[in-house]
Structure 1
Amino acid sequence: MRLLPWTSDTGMPCYLSTDDPDSRMSRLADRVEAELLDSARDVLGHAKELLRGQAPLRRELTFAGAQLAAALEDTLRIAKSRGGRLTPEE
């Protein structure tokens, strides 16, 4: 079972039951993972830039914190999914 990089409408984890890493759904999940990781890199870059500048406003920090939390949640889900797919030799 592969943990997918998205959740259901109710926030529950979604899984894919396949051993084919080249299936249509597996390729879609790979693309979504890549997009989420790219987005997390962008969010991190913007947050670092915000913190390097003049003292940010509270609303800027709140927005950055919310974006960082969402990106971290996505990244942790991807890490868990990828870790679950590792073979013992890796």
Structure 2
Amino acid sequence: MNDHTTGTARLLPWTGSGGKPCYLIGDGKGYISKVADRIESVQLGMAAELLGHVAELLSDRRATSDQLRYAVARMAESLRDVHRIAESRGARLSAEGPAEEAAPA
């Protein structure tokens, strides 16, 4: 998904009305891109924290089915966020093409 006049379409880390995906067309340097970067960072940090919490919960034999069900619900939400981030970043890498991927950082 590449718009040759304004840049690449970026899948944003939030959804629009009805859960529809939101996209941003641009060069990746504007205000909304920076907000999206910060939100992605928060979402990834929360996913890491959730993994730690779930590991503790699973090791506790006294964990109730309600606690486990709640943890699974939060994990599903987090996985949805992380999946959206991976899709967005993968699409942007694909849009860069082989020449730009090989360029030194």
Q: TM-score, normalised by structure 1?
A: 0.93
Higher strand fraction (1 or 2): 2
Which one has the largest radius of gyration?
2
Alignment of 1:43-82 (within 5 A): 43-82=50-89
Report how many aligned residue pairs link the two structures: 89
Deviation for aligned residue 1:55: 3.6
Q: Which residue of 2 aligns with 1:39?
A: 46
The structure, 1 or 2, with the larger RCO (C-alpha pairs under 8 Å, 6+ apart) is 1
Q: Which residue of 2 aligns with 1:88?
A: 97
Find the residue that maps to 2:18 and give its secondary structure: coil
Alpha carbon RMSD of aligned pairs, Å? 1.0
Asked if 1:24 is matched to 2:28, the reply is: no
**CA distance in 2: counterparts of 1:8 and 1:21, whole angstroms:** 20
Q: TM-score, normalised by structure 2?
A: 0.80
Higher helix fraction (1 or 2): 2
Q: Which amino acid aligns with 1:81?
A: S
Identity %: 45
Moved over 6 A (4+): none
